[in-house]
Structure 1
Amino acid sequence: MAKGLRGLKLKTRMTLILGLIALLQTGFVGVFALNYLSESLEEQVAERALNVAKTIAAMPEIIEAVERGDTGYLQPVSLKLAETTNARFVVIGDRLGIRLAHPTPTRIGKPMHDDEGDFNEPALLEGRPYVRKATGSLGASIRGKAPIFDQKEETVVGIVSVGFMLDTVDTIIARYRTTLWGVIFCAFLFSILIAIWFSNHFKRAIFGLEPEQIGLLFEERNATLESIREGVISINAEGLITTFNQAAVNTLNLPNKSLLLGKPIQEVLPDSHLIEVLEDGEPQFDQEFWLGDLCLITNRLPVQQDGKIIGVVSSFRPKDELDMVSRKLTRIKQYADSLRSQTHEYSNKLHTIAGLIQIGATKEAMNLIGQETANHQALIKLLVAAVPDPILAGCLLGKYNRAHELGLTLSIDPDSHMTDIPPRIPREHLVSIIGNLLDNAFEATLKHHGAGGEISLTMTDLGNDLIFEIEDQGAGIPLTEQERIFEKGVSSKRESGHGIGLHLVYNLLTRIGGYVTIDPADQGGSRFTVYIPKHAPSNESAKTMGESS
């Protein structure tokens, strides 16, 4: 049956089950009520029969007539008494149990007994009234029998038997049974209607899904939560944790999962800000969240149902992982820019050289080849001597070619020196910082000065800091804008997707304890000076340097 029910829709199942339960309950109550009613009616009829019999047995005229054996007096009186009390019969016998009065006159003078062999011994021999249900000459009945004592109440002189037929009781039971079955049927119909209403309400609450679909979605939801690398935690309207995945447990170093479910978020993560989102309903995107020494990038979204906030979901990931992805993308972009600029530049030069050879200007072609070789050899010689680190040198060579492609000149101070880069400074950080600052200088110079502009780079590792100075020929940065230029999304360009590079520079410098200053350049434009300590600064000093920038 259960297997068959699973093939039905939820609404049909609920209707059948609730209807069946209602039918069983009302049926059980009905059967119990009918049995109880039948027993109660029989007890009442038996008590009435016994009371009538005892009353007749105590009547003086009946006692005297029995003592005389006066059948002529007792016969009409018994019929009258039966009619008066609505009894089926009233039978009177002498002390030997011989009938003196009976509804059927032909049975007068015959012994009183029934088909079950009751010869009235309790009343005649013991003088005790009693009730008996038996089948006699008039049919099945409930009989009340009482002894008739003489005037002195010492000797039993006769017996009175008053009977009520069982078919009367059956008629009453049948009438109640019909009524009760009608009530059961109405209750069943009412239960069906309630079941249909409840199933419709329940289906709306679960978005019309079937239980099997909900189970599948639950398994898919668990699999999805556990498959993603981001940590996920959600709370309900009371601020209790309802959902979390293993990535959240591992990232936040939380206790066993069984200890988290149902606990207040304020006890587990007091500074999670989920309660704030629960109260104001404002989503939060890409927010930094510090947990001890761990920096997380978090998103917090309110969960709403029918316009009411019923919970909050938060996803988070260590910022290190995002920075690593950003660095990889930055390096790929830099490599691509470098290759593209070199390809474009050398393609133009090769076409020019080919044209000179074709027109016979071999001398000019040789001079151009020599000039190009000399410029690159001088740059490569400078980078080999001043910047032995291949990652930083490769970045600078690519930016040199990129500037050349844009019609700009990237001048690297020949007195630059950058050989003492400590191992604690990630080369990816250094490349991202310098590369983004140079790209920003290229764009500012092109916008304000146009082709032919110059960007200068000076480097030194003397002292306790690595220092990079980058000057452009842009329009400069107003003092009021210098405080906001490193914020995410802030840019002088109107197109979307800008305002990321300087924000990344600021974040990377903060992580390695460095900072950057902005000053007017000697020939207009801006001078960005980057200071990176060779040794890791303390937290307080790093914080101070970050704020001073």
Structure 2
Amino acid sequence: MSLVLGLMALLQTGLLGIFALNYLDNSLEEQMGQQAVHVAKTIAVIPQIISAVEQRDSDFLQPTSLQLADTIDARFVVIGDINSIRLAHPNYERVGQPMYDDDGDYNEPALLEGRPYVQKAIGSLGASIRGKSPIFDSTGETVIGVVSVGFLLDNVDSIIARYRTTLTVAILSAFLLSVLTAIWFANHFKKAIFGLEPEQIGLLFEERNATLESIREGIIAINSQGLITTFNRAALHTLELTDKTPLLGKPIQTILPGSQLLEVLANGEPQFDQEFWVGETCLIANRIPVCQNDQIIGVVSSFRRKDELDMVSRKLTRIQQYADSLRSQTHEYSNKLHTIAGLIQIGANNEALNLIGQETENHQTLIHLLVEAVPDPVLAGCLLGKYNRARELGLHLKVDTESRMTDLPERLPRDQLVSIIGNLLDNAFDATLAHTGAGGEVFLTMTDLGNDLIFEIEDQGAGIPLDEQARIFEKGVSSKHEPGHGIGLHLVETLLHRLAGTVTIDPTERGGSRFTVYIPKINPNHTPKSTKGSPA
């Protein structure tokens, strides 16, 4: 940048300097020529000069021409007759000789046409600018001679040289100033782009585009005017826009009405895990302000569909349930095996057989009930895992023998169903264990009669005050003070809302709480997915 800007400045000032010098040279020559003609015309009308030329009086004209040349600071004043024979000349030896010996000019415009003119020629006195004017007789009608006034071009060259020196200094000064300015500008510009070279900026731009397209979350960024500056293809797909939808330069409100990006732009407070709706799609968004020199210059938002996050959460919940189930079974059976081994070692074979039979009978009873009442393997596996989890905690999960759950609709997502029942049972385990300790009981009743699937879960906890029942489904609200709680019941309410279901809380005769879940077999909110246009 420094080199290019310096060379451009040098080229521009150099061209301007050459043009100025040439213009000055031509102007000076033209000015001197006009001056010479003006002086020649003035001398040609002097009566004494006219009379002397008519009389061919060189004795008078010779000293007079020298005096006139000295007065007007001219190099020479030459006077000739009608035949171009010199009557006066700075060099007296050339008096009486033809004037065309010097310049080859027969003075035809002046002598034949009677008009003054300017001539540039090299004569016996050197290169000069000459102004020539005809001399008319006393009547003013007949040309009787010619006056030639000359200024040497050496004076013009000295003036041009002086100006050339000045312009050269000006050109070099401008070049130096341009180089210094270019260096300052380059350093300032490089500081603004964090010391990166243009090639590095290009590489980062390509990497930035590739990174944006590799992210599965939608990305949208706006500038300080609220205009969209960046987006990726995932944002178009998440917002159900076409790939050809023009977004760059559009106000964010035309694409996402009610977007909180402008709020973040105004107050500079980041937002995390915020829900917002676009049409019938619920999205989870993070919004972070972009600052430069303590000024907010834009906002970047990343977002994705909430059901994708819920799906990941449900998968993790199921994995956790399976792990808890396997751990509880391993722990329980390990204790039972050690007990049976001890009974056998002390010879208490009958007691060992009774323990084995009791264990087998309890599991067989539950398995038989689940096989008949809950043919769905996913729900049955969840209940069996929770049964073992309760035993590990020292609790008893009792399933009503009259329970039936055989009419599960095919459209009902099984992962959402087991997430609802599993979280409610876990909540019942915690409440019972906190209030009664080991030996407490949790009761589960299920029925699919009518148009709804109904699940009743009773615990032996301390109960839930009426004024607290509406708050327990809020995210982060929990009776426990350890971090990581307050998620289960919030997820239950979210999933029930999606399934058009409801949950009620009632006190029980034992002092605990009864959670009753109603899930319609036909979801009135469920509609076939259709292709939607822009949410704007």
Give the shorter-chain TM-score range. Answer: over 0.9
Higher RCO, 1 vs 2 (CA within 8 Å, ≥6 residues apart): 2
Which residue matches 2:451?
464
Q: Is the partner of 1:435 in helix, strand or coil? A: helix
The reply on whether 1:141 has 2:128 as its aligned counterpart is yes
2:54 paired with 1:67: yes
Which of 492, 500, 503 is equivalent to 2:487? 500
Tell me the alpha carbon deviations over residues 311-331 of structure 1, each in whole angstroms, 9 at most, x when there is no partner: 222211111211111111111
Label 1:177 to 1:242 Cα distance change in 2 as closer, same or farther (>3 A): same
User: Partner of 2:420 in structure 1?
Assistant: 433
| 2:113 is aligned with 1:90 | no
Q: Give secondary structure in 2 for the equivalent of 1:259.
A: coil
Moved more, 453-462 or 425-434: 453-462
* C-alpha distance in 2 between matches for 1:529 and 1:312: 44
Residue identity in the other structure for 1:206: I
Give yes or no for contact 2:233–2:243 (8 Å, CA) kept in 1.
no
1:253 aligns with 240
Once the two structures are TM-superposed, the CA of residue 116 in structure 1 deviates from its matched residue by 5.1
Q: Is 1:127 equivalent to 2:101 in the alignment? A: no
User: AA paired with 2:484?
Assistant: G
Q: Secondary structure at the match of 1:523?
A: coil
Preserved CA contact (<8 Å) 1:114 1:135? no
Instruction: Name the SS of the counterpart of 1:135 in structure 2.
Output: strand
Q: CA deviation at 1:417?
A: 1.2
CA distance in 2, matches of 1:457, 1:104: 140
Matched residues in 1 for 2:70 and 2:243: separation?
87
Structure 1 residue 255: Cα displacement: 4.2
Shift of residue 478, structure 1, vs aligned partner:
2.2
What is the Cα deviation at residue 163 of structure 1? 0.6
| Corresponding position of 1:490 | 477
Q: d(CA) in 1 for partners of 2:180 and 2:120?
A: 46
Partner Cα separation in structure 2 for residue 538 and residue 327 of structure 1? 21
Q: Distance in 2 between matches of 1:334 and 1:305?
A: 47
Q: Take 2:101 and 2:224, find their aligned partners in 1: how far apart are those partners?
A: 79
SS of the aligned residue for 1:272 comes to: coil
1:169-203 Cα deviation digits (max 9, x unpaired): 01001111111111112222222222222223222
| Alignment TM-score, normalising by the size of structure 1 | 0.93
Further displaced range: 71-80 or 301-310: 301-310
Q: Which residue of 2 aligns with 1:545?
A: none
Write the distance in 1 (CA, Å) between the matches of 2:479 and 2:240. Answer: 42
1:201: which partner in 2?
Answer: 188
Cross-structure match for 2:533: none
Q: Distance in 1 between matches of 2:471 and 2:269?
A: 24
* CA distance in structure 2 between the aligned counterparts of 1:116 and 1:369, rounded to whole angstroms: 143
Is the 8 Å Cα contact of residues 249 and 257 (structure 1) preserved in structure 2?
no
Corresponding residue to 1:229 among 185, 193, 216: 216
- The equivalent of 2:529 in structure 1 is none
Which residue of structure 1 aligns with residue 24 of structure 2?
A: 37
Query: 1:425 & 1:113 partners in 2: Cα distance?
Result: 121
SS in 1 for 2:450: coil
CA distance in 2, matches of 1:114, 1:428: 121
Amino acid at match of 2:186: S
Aligned match for 1:268, one of 240, 244, 255: 255
The Cα of 1:293 is off from its aligned counterpart by: 1.6
Task: State the alpha-carbon separation in 2 of the partners of residues 497 and 112 from structure 1.
Answer: 118
Match of 2:178 in 1: 191
Q: Counterpart of 1:428 in 2: which secondary structure?
A: helix
Whole-Å separation in 1 of the counterparts to 2:321 and 2:352: 31
* Aligned counterparts of 1:260 and 1:288: Cα–Cα separation in 2: 22
Stretches of 4+ aligned residues off by more than 3 angstroms: 255-258
Deviation at 1:256, TM superposition (A): 4.3
Structure 2 letter corresponding to 1:365: A
1:392 pairs with 2:376 = no
Aligned equivalent of 2:463, options 476, 483, 487: 476
CA–CA distance in structure 2, aligned partners of residues 90 and 126 of structure 1: 21
- Residue 348 (1) aligns with residue 319 (2): no
Q: Distance in 1 between matches of 2:129 and 2:525?
A: 107
Residue 258 of structure 1: CA displacement?
5.9
Equivalent residue for 2:272? 285
Q: Indicate whether 1:337 and 2:360 are aligned.
A: no
Identity of matched residues, %? 75
Of 38-47 and 479-488, deviating more is: 479-488
Give distance in 2, aligned partners of 1:114 and 1:476.
Answer: 136
Provide the secondary structure at the position in 2 that maps to 1:443: helix
Q: Which amino acid aligns with 1:351?
A: H
Structure 1 portions without partners, runs of 5+ = 1-13, 540-549
Structure 2: gaps (5+ residues): 527-536
**Deviation for aligned residue 1:114:** 5.5
**C-alpha separation between the residues in 2 aligned to 1:239 and 1:336?**
48
State how far apart, in whole Å, the 1-side matches of 2:265 and 2:324 are.
46
Give the TM-score of the pair, scaled to structure 2.
0.95
Aligned residue number for residue 231 of structure 2:
244
